[in-house]
Amino acid sequence: MTQTRARTVFLLAHTGRPAAIRSAELVVKGLLRSGIGVRALEAEARDLPLPDEVDLVKEATPQSLDGCELLIVLGGDGTLLRGAEFGRASGVPMLGVNLGRVGFLAEAERDDLDKVVDRVVSKAYEVEERMTVDVVVHRNGDIVHTDWALNEAAVQKVSAERMLEVVLEIDGRPVTGFGCDGIVCATPTGSTAYAFSAGGPVVWPEVEALLINTVQEFDHHWIVPIDDCFRMVATVRREWRGLSGGGRVWPAVQEFFAELTERS
C-alpha cells in the first residue's frame, strides 16, 4: 500500500536494458529506505522489480509529476530526451544516470548510483538551467507545425541528388545564402549530438549562444550569441523535412524558424 511521504521522486527507466532494471531496483530501495517516496509509470513497473510502496501512474503527463521534487532518468541519451519531454511542462528538474554508450546528457554514471541516492537524500545537488529552442514551420505564410527541442532542430534534404538552397536570417537581418545537404540549429546541450557529428564544435552548456551548422562537403559553422529576442530563420527553396532532437519529423515545407525559448 502506498504511503504518504514528505518527499517524492519520479523514476523513469529504459526497461529494455538489464542494467536499467538492476539500477532501478538499487535506486528505489535506497530512496524508500531513506523515507523518500518513489513514483513510476505502470507500463514500466511491469518490467521492474518495484516494491508495493512505489506509487504508480498510468500516463507520463505533467500532472503525474505533481508533488515530485526530482525526475531521475536511467538510460542513454534517448531515454533522457524522453525524460526531458516528460518533465519540461511541469518544471520538475531532471537527473540523468547514463546506462547507454555515450551519455552526453547524463550527469552521473552507473557506478555512481550510491552517490546519486545519497545526494538526492541529503539534497546535495544544484539545478542547472538548459536552453531549448522553439520551432515554428511555415508554408506559404501559414503556420503548419510547432515544436521544441532540447538538443537541436534540423532541416534535411529529401532528394539525395539535389542540394537544399538556404537563405539564413538572424534577428531580421540576412546573413548568407548557400547550398547544403542540411542545416542544424543546436543549443549548447545539443552541440554534442547531431551538430557534433556534422563537424561542429562542442559548446559549454553555460554559454549563451546557439550553434548553426550546415551539413555538406564544405561545412560552415556559426556560434551566435543570443538575447531574449533571438530569432533564426532559414528559408529553404527545395523540398525538405524537419527533424528535432527527440526524433520527431515535421512536414516538408518552405520555411523553418527556430526561436530561443525560456531556460528549462
CA dihedral 28, 24, 86, 69 (to 10 degrees): 30
Q: All 3 cell numbers of residue 76? A: 542513454
β-strand partners of 258 = 135, 232
Contact call for residues 225 and 209 (beta carbons, < 8 A)? yes
Residue 158, exposed/middle/buried by CB under 10 A (0-12, 13-18, 19+)? exposed
Q: All 3 cell numbers of residue 13? A: 527507466
Q: All 3 cell numbers of residue 17? A: 536494458
Residue indicated by cell numbers 529504459: 14
Contact call for residues 150 and 263 (beta carbons, < 8 A)? no
Residues in contact with 6: Cβ distance below 8 Å, sequence separation at least 6, in sequence order: 35
Task: Find the catalytic residue in 47, 66, 77, 134.
Answer: 77
Distance, CA of 103 to CA of 93 (rounded, Å): 18
**For this structure, is 134 an active site residue?**
no
- Give catalytic residues, as residue numbers: 77
